[in-house]
Structure 1
Amino acid sequence: MINRVVLVGRLTKDPDLRYTPNGAAVANFTIAVNRPFTNQQGDHDADFIPVVVWRRQAENTANFVGKGSLVGVEGRIQTRSYDNNEGRRVFVTEVVADSVQFLESRNARANAPANNNFSQQPGSNTNNGYQQPASSPNRGYNDNNPFGGQDDPFADDGKPIDISDDDLPF
């Protein structure tokens, strides 16, 4: 059986980060995902999909994205139910994320036009409002780098990297 979900959408509000009694981080947020077709008025409707993400990914999501941020979510659909304060059974369907990808830099989001149109016009020499500082070498980063090229914590500054084996994915 297969239960996999891949979504790309924008956060409707800042993620809500909480911790379980055991200290595990959990973040809840909702993303708006546009439907591929238009309604009778010619507008695209959107689905608002609740997402839950756990542990380190939850903390990173809460720290680095906010309302309006474009994210990619990969995970599975989960259904659950509980009794609310009035004693009624409430059913919840949500996506439990295995991975949340940040699809635009903070710099691009801050400099974005109000209509959220991030497409670059043909012949334009701008990259979503971001320009590489003249004093900073490019070091092979492109302008879509989520750290903006300049603030990249992984940039080669000649110092040893302080990382534990627990942080490595392999």
Structure 2
Amino acid sequence: MASVNKVILIGHLGKDPEVRHLEGGNSVANFTMATNEYFKDKQGTRVERTEWHNISAWRGLAELAEKYLRKGQQVYVEGRIRTRQYQDKENQTRYITEIVADEISLLGQRPGAAPTTPATADASAVAEAPVTFRQEPELDQLPF
């Protein structure tokens, strides 16, 4: 049986994407995303736990992230987990686990959009439909 490596997250951006333009014309955007979990402890007190995720988006998805994503914005990210290693400045081997985004959808209100009032809420709901961006697979990534 084949294996599956799929992640789905809905959360808020911790910072604006940092975009690097690599040799060969490829771009990569890196940003953090927070997801929150709520539960009650043994004393019945409501506790919030925040998990931070490192997200990377490549090529056209990186350029769209640079253009549209901003700190604090709520987004949907679909992708896969990847762990890689690197050497730090002290030549120590370090590991980082990140989510490589295949799809990003903008949720909630657009940055810079006027706040909605009850009278305009129905009309703005249509205008505020999620905008989704997908990473198209490279030809050498296709399984056939």
TM-score by length of 2: 0.76
Q: Which of 72, 85, 90 is the equivalent residue of 1:86?
A: 90
1:38 to 1:49, Cα distance in 2 relative to 1, 3 A: farther
Bigger strand share = 2
What's the counterpart of residue 80 of structure 2? 76
State the structure with bigger RCO (CA 8 A, min sep 6), 1 or 2: 2
In 2, the alpha carbon distance for the partners of 1:72 and 1:108 equals 19
Distance across 1 between alignment mates of 2:119 and 2:68: 27
Q: Which residue does 1:99 correspond to in 2?
A: 103
Q: Which amino acid aligns with 1:142?
A: V
Counterpart position of 1:25: 27
Q: Determine whether 1:66 maps to 2:49.
A: no
Aligned-residue CA RMSD in angstroms?
A: 2.7
For structure 2, list consecutive stretches of 5 or more residues without a partner in the other structure: 132-144
Q: Show structure 1 runs of 5+ residues with no match.
A: 113-119, 133-140, 148-170
Give the whole-Å Cα distance in 1 for the aligned partners of 2:54 and 2:87. Answer: 19
Q: Give the total of aligned pairs.
A: 127
Structure number with bigger Rg? 1
1:38-60 CA distance string (max 9 Å, x none): 55752311100000000111111
Contact 2:70 2:111 in 1 (8 A): no
Give 2:128's aligned residue.
Answer: 144
- CA deviation after TM superposition for structure 1 residue 109, in Å: 6.1
CA separation of 1:109 and 1:12: change in aligned 2, threshold 3 A: farther
> Identity percentage over the alignment?
35
Give the Å deviation of 1:142: 1.1
Change (3 A) 1:64 1:50: same
From the two aligned structures, give the one with the greater helix fraction: 2
Whole-angstrom distance in 1 between the partners of 2:85 and 2:66: 25
Taking the TM superposition and a 5 Å limit, the aligned residue runs for 1:1-170 are: 1-38=3-40, 41-106=45-110, 111=115, 124-127=118-121, 142-145=126-129
Q: Would the alpha carbon gap of residues 65 and 95 (structure 1) be closer, same or farther in structure 2, given more than 3 Å must change?
A: same
Q: Which runs of 4+ in 1 moved over 4 A?
A: 38-41, 107-110
